[in-house]
Chains A and B, each alone.
Chain A
Amino acid sequence: MRAVSADEATSSWDLGMVPRPFRVRKNRRELNDVVTLELEPESGEPMAFEPGQFTMLYLHGIGEIPISISGDPSHEGVLVQTIRSVGAVSEGFCNLSEGDMVGVRGPFGRPWPVEKTDGKNLLIMAGGLGLAPVRPAVYWALQNMDRIKKLNILYGARTPDDALFPSQLLGWEAVDDVKVLLTVDRPVDDWYGRVGVVTDLIADLDIDPQETIAMVCGPDVMMNFTIQSLRAWGLDGENVYVSLERNMKCAIGWCGHCQMGPHIICHDGPVFSAPEVAELMSVWEL
């Protein structure tokens, strides 16, 4: 169980079940069914967060869902969240316009351990929408390139058109000591890049696994395979982190929905080291 200090528990953002009003500043369409919302607190009080944390987003009378923060942690005044429309609530968020209001609770959860990357390589591996929850760690790394060795981003999408943040990926690739590799499951006619699963890209890395911290985010199966592949590559499990997803109704440890074995994912996670969860992830229907 994660120990939480008294300060943390009584932060002014902690109102249990009651959200705070935010207003949509921008709704940018990323993909057919994915948008990125920029939200501003009505109170003007910025919501500080750490890379990997999430919020509970509430839409009047419709419902509330957990969504990772995908923005830059150094820009506190604006809350950036990337949402895929998969059901009633997420669809409602995707359809919002500038000036619309939403409710926000959070930020919640254990963040990516960015401090651990000091003097090391940071390896980001993401599948599909999994790039959104690791993007804050990428922003952090780009602002701290003097503290880390190299930043490697391996990203797998279904098709080239499903790749999230494509122009940003290109921009990051142009930065010194940053390498971005993209692969797709299903190519289209004018695709000259890689085809295959994201773990295939590990072979192309020219960094020392002993000197690397990996942050992995994607569907459960992808993360499971990636943990195994990274171990085979020579990366110690202690240095591999994943972000897990379970049903969450409260995000504050009251509702019981997000349990996985010993873990209450909303506050013990969603970020875990591989040894904390690898075995549990392979248990049937846990």
Chain B
Amino acid sequence: MEGTSKILPAERFDVLFEVLKKQGFDIWGVHEKDDALTLAPIDGPADLPRGRIDDTGPGKMRLIDGSRDAYFDHTLPMQGLKRLVYPPQDKVFETGEDYMFTEPPVDAKPIAVIGARSCDLVALETLADVLENGPYPDHRFAERRQALCLVAVNCTRAAKTCFCTSMNSGPRAESGYDLALTELFNSDGHRFLIEAGGERGQAVLDAMSVDEATDKDRHAANIISSTVAASMTRSIPDDARETLKSSYDHPQWSDIGERCMDCANCTLVCPTCFCSTIEDRSSLDGSIAERWRRWDSCFIRDFSYIHGGVVRKETASRYRQWMTHKLTHWHDQFGRSGCVGCGRCIAWCPVGIDITAEIRAISKTGEAVVEAGVS
């Protein structure tokens, strides 16, 4: 995305926070809590996990000290942007016994997210294709998304579980951001290259007194992105989509079925998983009924229940549903991949099931990254 680019010295980073607050945004960012990275409301640069990096692997996420004092050498928080636009529970209507339905107003507070990564921006567009750009636009999702100011951070380091390059979703933010930061450390000091990705971002930039970036700065940022891209070891093979179409009976599914515990962690942390269920509740005296929409997971046994029985009785067929949806049928349904390569499902799986390794076992092209599992 073309726009103006500026340079903000790291010691003046708080200026960005102040301008966003002045423009009416609550600020959210990555915060270290209970030995994990979480997406949470933050006040200023001091709340960021400065100097910390995430050491991830299958079933593993540890925070350790990095080698320098960077704000953004860590990668992803546990959650994607999903919960900001699509809350885990949302009341969609209320009615009395007269069936006069009323819809609660949408809590679309203006939120600025500092540190959104490219994969998560692509995941947000992926979700929008499902919920906003389909035949029945979900206006609650759309209004919340409109209210977001996305301050992207181009990754300066990939975690071991990252594979956005192979999914064409990173590591450099290409679209869907209002501002994009690249953290630079060089002879000119510790600074941020800031690029505006639209009018809203430009307005923020215009309200800050910052210097113009030079070609040298932009070049430095490009080098960082290509170095990070080249450092990723995991990938999804190019033939995954086709291979899975003819692999419904592959023995690997029951092998995975033996290991997977149906905990649904992978679907909860995945930034594109959109499945939901409906809960119709009523008040104690039965007069007021409410409908709630709640996140659901295809790993739950009753997910496919129809009268007479559950369609996907085995864990194997449920995992197959999840992975074939991500890598194959999402293309059929929405014209893009349902996986953006963030690697969260790998890190947060309690038994270390790794989508990139499982697809290799089925497609038999190339070698999987072999790594110790849960540590």
Interface residues of A (CB under 8 A from B): 1-2, 4, 8-9, 14, 16-21, 42, 58, 60-64, 86-87, 90, 101-103, 245-247, 249-250, 252-257, 259, 261-262, 264, 267, 283-286
CB distance from A78 to the nearest CB of B (A): 18
A4 touches B135 (CB 8 A): yes
B 127-151 binary contact with A (CB < 8 Å = 1; else 0): 0001100111111000000000000
CB closest chain-A residue, reference B312 = A285
Contact A257 to B136, CB < 8 A, known contacts A17-B92, A60-B289: no
Q: Does B248 contact A (CB under 8 A)?
A: yes
A285 touches B289 (CB 8 A): no
Q: Does B303 contact A (CB under 8 A)?
A: yes
A62 touches B138 (CB 8 A): no
User: In residues 75-107 of chain B, which contact A (Cβ within 8 Å)?
Assistant: 92-93, 95, 97-101, 103
B 118-132 binary contact with A (CB < 8 Å = 1; else 0): 000000000000110
Q: Does B249 contact A (CB under 8 A)?
A: yes
A261 touches B324 (CB 8 A): yes
Contact A60 to B306, CB < 8 A, known contacts A4-B135, A249-B276, A285-B311: no
User: In residues 59-73 of chain B, which contact A (Cβ within 8 Å)?
Assistant: none
Chain B neighbourhood of A8, CB < 8 A: 135
Chain B neighbourhood of A2, CB < 8 A: 135
Once bound together, how far apart are the Cα atoms of A250 and B307, in whole Å?
A: 17
Interface-centre pick from B98, B306, B321 (highest chain A CB count, 10 A):
B306
**9 nearest A-B pairs in the assembled complex, by CB-CB distance:** A61-B282, A256-B275, A285-B317, A262-B332, A61-B289, A4-B135, A21-B99, A252-B136, A17-B92
Interface residues on B, range: 35 or more
Once bound together, how far apart are the Cα atoms of A283 and B320, in whole Å?
A: 12
Is the contact region of chain A dominated by helix, strand, or loop, or is it mixed? Answer: loop
Chain B neighbourhood of A257, CB < 8 A: 275, 277, 296, 303-304
Once bound together, how far apart are the Cα atoms of A259 and B275, in whole Å?
A: 11
Chain A neighbourhood of B207, CB < 8 A: none
Contact A256 to B99, CB < 8 A, known contacts A18-B92, A60-B282, A267-B135: no
CB distance from A245 to the nearest CB of B (A): 6
A262 touches B333 (CB 8 A): yes
Interface-centre pick from B103, B137, B291, B334 (highest chain A CB count, 10 A):
B291
Once bound together, how far apart are the Cα atoms of A249 and B292, in whole Å?
A: 11
Interface residues of B (CB under 8 A from A): 92-93, 95, 97-101, 103, 130-131, 134-139, 248-249, 274-278, 280-282, 286, 289, 291, 293, 296, 298, 303-307, 311-314, 317, 321, 324-325, 328-329, 332-335
Is the contact region of chain B dominated by helix, strand, or loop, or is it mixed? Answer: mixed
Q: Which of A14, A58, A102, A285 contacts B136 (CB 8 A)?
A: A14
B139 touches A60 (CB 8 A): no
CB closest chain-B residue, reference A19 = B101
Once bound together, how far apart are the Cα atoms of A79 and B313, in whole Å?
A: 35
A255 touches B286 (CB 8 A): no
A16 touches B139 (CB 8 A): yes
A253 touches B134 (CB 8 A): yes
13 contacts across the A-B interface (CB closer than 8 A): A16-B139, A17-B291, A58-B280, A61-B280, A61-B289, A86-B307, A254-B136, A254-B138, A255-B275, A256-B298, A259-B321, A264-B333, A286-B311
Q: Which of B276, B305, B312 contacts A254 (CB 8 A)?
A: B276
B274 touches A286 (CB 8 A): no
Once bound together, how far apart are the Cα atoms of A60 and B139, in whole Å?
A: 24
Please give 10 more A-B residue pairs, beta carbons under 8 A apart, in addition to A9-B136, A247-B311: A1-B335, A17-B291, A18-B93, A61-B281, A61-B289, A64-B278, A103-B101, A259-B329, A262-B333, A286-B248
